[in-house]
Amino acid sequence: MRRLRFLAAVVIAALAAAPVAAQEFPTKPVELVLPFGPGGSHDLTARAVASVAHQYLGQPLLVVLKPGGGGAVGSQHVIRAKPDGYTLLFGGTGPNTVFALVQKAPIGVEHFTPVARINHSPAVFAVRHEAPWKTLREAIEYAKKNPGKFSFANTGPWGAADYPMRLIARAAGIDYTNVPHDGGGPALLAVLGGHADATFGFAPQLLPQIMASKMRALAVSGGKRFGTLRNVPTVKEEGFDVNFTMWRAVLAPKGTPPAIVEKLEAAFRKMSEDKSFQALIKQLGDEVDFQGAKDFEATWRQEWDVAAKVVAGTPK
């Protein structure tokens, strides 16, 4: 009750201040908080955005790293910040959907006002070149016939490899050996070294392996085929009703005035259309796929509902 009243007070105060603030916004640099450490795809994408932000926002966009707690530390920093549009989160599927649900962290869809999704990456299902399976369907059939024999190296519990594999296993009804590794590199090494049968990875890490014929990509987890891997079918095409991408989106604290959200949304939309920004994202092996506040909120809620069921372990 007290929280509700507090929220109401914040919203009223914000609304009252909105007309003046929105016209001038932004009058000082905007902070984009990253709930991760340096160097990941999230960091690189955020820096690519920041590199073109000034001309569209009128103020610099500062990337601030607040790692820790599986993304909870940075996320909560933004949730608790003044909802004035100057403190934003560069959130993602990892912390704000999966971690939020699995660890019951209050950093999920209910706690933010979405501003814009910059892009999203599908995960790529890959096996060692020597593996007998030529398609995802073959691999899953093998797993079905040999319960527990098919070993899958994931990049950490509930991470970007584990989660889509759980979705597939749920859709296909298979029992496989699921082995968590300490990040994408070690999981890839486990498959390359023949210790595990398959993993999910992102295109930039997997492409060199695929081009050198060390690994074979069997499917991509997104709703449509992806970038440089046009000849690789989606998981859905292979007959499993799964659609998963890791999104990267700008989120504002709840109670940020709509006028400011609109202004930010418009600025981020222009940044995502910037030529040099698009070139940088392409170099990272990703595609820009902008979604505005309304559309993205719908996408996120849909993802959230599916994830909630998977995490709760309820059958489909």
Partner 1 sequence: MEILSLLAGGFAVAATPTNLMYCFIGSLIGTAIGVLPGLGPPATIALLLPVTYGIPATSAVILLAGIFYGAMYGGSTTSILLNIPGEAASVVTCLDGYQMARQGRAGAALAISAIGSFLAGTVSVIGLMLLAPPLASFALRFGAPENFALLVLGLMMVGYLGGASMTKGLMMALLGLLLGMVGLDPIMGSPRFTYGVWKLSEGFEFVLVAMGLFGIGEVLVNVERTLAPEVLKTKISGLLASREEWRAAGLPLARGSLLGFFVGVLPGGGAIISSFVSYALEKKLSRHPERFGKGAVEGVAGPEAANNAAATSSFIPLLTLGIPGNASIALIFAALLIHGIRPGPLLVAERPEVFWGLIASMYIGNVMLLVLNLPLIGLWVKLLEVPYLVLAPFIVVFVLVGAYSINNSVFDVGTTVVFGALGYVLRKFDFEPAPLVLAMILGPQLEGALRRSLLYARGDLTVFFQRPIAATLVALALLMLLSPLVRWALARKFREIVGPVSPAPD
Residues in the site for partner 1, rule: CB under 8 A? 37-39, 43-44, 47, 51, 64-70, 72-73, 76, 102-103, 105, 148, 151, 156-158, 177-182, 185-186, 188-190, 192-196, 204-205, 207-209, 211-212, 214, 280, 283-285
**Calpha distance 220→121 (Å, rounded):** 10
Residue whose CB is less far from partner 1, 44 or 259: 44
CB of 291 to partner 1, least distance (A): 24
Spatial CB neighbours of 132, under 8 Å, sequence gap ≥ 6: 138, 142
Residue placing its CB nearer to partner 1 in the complex, 103 or 135: 103
Closer residue to partner 1 in complex, CB, 278/299: 278
Cβ of residue 38: shortest distance to partner 1, in angstroms? Answer: 3
CA dihedral sign, ordered 172, 174, 177, 178: positive
**Do 151 and 161 contact (CB within 8 A), yes or no?**
no
Calpha distance 164→238 (Å, rounded): 14
Task: State the minimum distance, in angstroms, from the CB of residue 237 to partner 1.
Answer: 26
* Min dist. Cβ of residue 201 to partner 1 (A): 11
Angle at 213 between CA 208 and CA 214, to 5 degrees: 80
- Min CB(94)–partner 1 separation in Å: 12
Whose Cβ is closer to partner 1: residue 191's or residue 235's?
A: 191
**C-alpha to C-alpha distance for 18 and 22, rounded to whole angstroms:** 6
For the bound state, the minimum distance from the C-beta of residue 238 to partner 1, rounded and expressed in Å, comes to 26
Task: Report residue 221: phi and psi, to 5°.
Answer: -85, -5
Q: Check residue 111 and report its DSSP letter.
A: G
In the bound state with partner 1, the residue whose beta carbon lies nearer, of 145 and 195, is 195
Residue 241 beta carbon to partner 1: minimum distance, rounded to whole angstroms: 25
Ramachandran category for residue 213: left, alpha or beta (phi over 0 → left; psi -120 to 50 → alpha): left
Residue 82 or 282: which CB sits closer to partner 1? 282
Cα 260 from Cα 57, distance rounded (Å): 12
Nearest distance from residue 279's CB to partner 1, in Å?
10
Which C-beta is closer to partner 1: that of 188 or that of 288? Answer: 188
Contact 14, 83 (CB under 8 A): yes
Q: What CA–CA distance (Å, rounded) separates 221 from 232?
A: 10
Cis amide linkage into residue 26, ω under 30° from 0: yes
Q: In the complex with partner 1, which residue's Cβ is closer, 180 or 233?
A: 180
131-135-138-142 Cα dihedral, nearest 10 degrees: 40
